[in-house]
Amino acid sequence: MFEGLSTRLSGILDRLKGRGALSEADVQEAMREVRRALLEADVALEVVRSFTDKVRDRAIGAEVIKSVTPGQMVVKIVHDTLVDTLGSEGVAIDLQAVPPVPILMVGLQGSGKTTTTAKIAKRLFDKQKKKVLMASLDTRRPAAMEQLAVLGKQIGVETLPIVAGQTPVQIARRAIEAGRLGGFDVVMLDTAGRTHVDEALMIEVAEVEKVARPHETLLVVDSLTGQDAVNVARSFTGRVNVTGVVLTRVDGDGRGGAALSMRAVTGKPIKLLGTSEKMDGLEDFHPQRIAGRILGMGDIVSLVEKAAESIDAEKGMAIAKRMQSGQFNLDDLGDQLDQMLKIGGMQGLMGMLPGVKNMQKQISGAMDDKVIKRQRAIIHAMTPWERRNPKEIDGKRRRRIARGSGTQPEDVNKLLKMHRGMADMMKAMGGAQGKRGPMAGLANMFGLGGGMPQPTPEMLAELQQKMPGGLPDKMPSLPPGMPGGLPPGFPGLGGGPKLPGLPGFPFGKKK
């Protein structure tokens, strides 16, 4: 969603960073371009004015103009102001109340309330081990209650039995009572929506709120509607005690204006982002991380968190051990490709790595997720014996595999060559444990040796100064399958462009 704005802002700030000295006129010109970029991203006019005024006032100060690196100082000021605009600190769903804790979901029809209700319920059930009850209060939209019941079965969360003829207020009262009698921790109430904000909708929501007395009232808005999402939020906050906002369809081609304007206009924090239609497609909203993505600084913390959730730690350790002994076969490679797709594929990974944003277009061919999917198809077209014995695959077998996977024999050859190179390198790295030299260092990077060294306070202090947003209070831990920061057998080890920050780590080219 932020891709267009990120490209524009990164280009403007890169030009500033390339200059040895900055004048007041340079800053004024850059702020005009920033203002134009924000308006084109559909950010509210009052938010744009406030943002550019804050940046200009701080950037024209003597400490910036006379700084040794004035461009870097301006980037830091833009980053900090962007974080303030987005809300400074991330705000999680508050469950600190006597159970069952009622959570009321409100919003317009088509914004994704029902799906988001199920996503939050799954999140609470899986991550926080809460016993959740979902109830649909939508008595108008056909099959709305049945939709929530189906989603409940998919995610393993209980739903309130449907009783025909009841009003939303009666259903809400019954849901709270059922939650109390059933020993539930959380009761989620999915209200009805309309195609536009009207008085009848507001009266119904207010009546439900009076009966349920929710601890959290989450407003679900569609980020693709741009400034209209902000207008909807303003209308709801005037009538209902909204405690937070959930932005859906963030993975779409919206321009990001709703996210940047929401907190400043409504005063309500964005708590969650809907990133896909899948039930696990929900992310916490962290202003510092989002600001880093917008400015092309990456988001390593979110990447590590996503990897920790998606990667099978036991399988990763088993593969790592086989790598050390040179027993890395095509089944193992297939598992690594699957895990890569689970954490967002190559495009998603590149978007979260610092310094890669500006070179994504140049390496887009090598980073295409279609390459990984094609490699998975080739592996699936092989027999189990062939996957365990790739050295025995002759020309006749390669032609058959190519026909079965819808590819060319050259694609099969490239995959086998890539696998052979990975297996040889991993075996050499495994044999380098306890020794000195470049392979021992590479083995440590992959977790095949002594692992990464523990950072000293001096190292953390130096890194703190280099990062505009600062280091988070607590970094998430890596799963055992990723001891060195990347999954064992990272795919694409052919010839190709090298990424900054990953020395000697090439990726395969797309022919």
What residue has token string 């190179």?
421
Does residue 291 contact residue 33 with C-beta atoms inside 8 Å? no
Residue 402 has a CB neighbour count (10 Å cut-off) of: 18
- Rounded to an integer, what distance in angstroms lies between the CA atom of residue 18 and that of residue 15? 5
Residue 277 contacts residue 251 (beta carbons within 8 Å): no
Indicate the residue type of 138.
D
Tokens of 84: 């303030």
**DSSP assignment letter at 1:** -
At 434, give phi and psi (nearest 5°). 80, 0
Buried b (16+ CB within 10 A) or exposed e, 468-507: bbeeeeeeeebbebbbbebbbbbbbbbebeebeeeeeeeb
d(CA 142, CA 111): 16
CA angle 182, 184, 187 (to 5 degrees): 115
DSSP-derived pairing of the beta strands 158-159 and 132-136: parallel
**SS3 at position 246:** strand
Structure tokens at 35: 């203002």
d(CA 12, CA 358): 12
Is the distance from CB of 326 to CB of 348 less than 8 angstroms?
no
Per the annotation, binding residues for GTP are 107-114, 190-194, 248-251
Q: End-to-end CA distance of the chain: give it in Å, rounded.
A: 29
Q: Which of 441, 461, 465 is nearest to 453 (CA)?
A: 441
Partners of 245 in the β-ladder: 219, 270
Contact of 398 with 413, CB cutoff 8 Å: yes
- Estimate the crossing angle of helix 70-86 against helix 3-17, to 10 degrees: 150
Please state the residue numbers annotated as binding site: 107-114, 190-194, 248-251
For 102-139, give the DSSP string.
EEEEEE-TTS-HHHHHHHHHHHHHHHS---EEEEE---
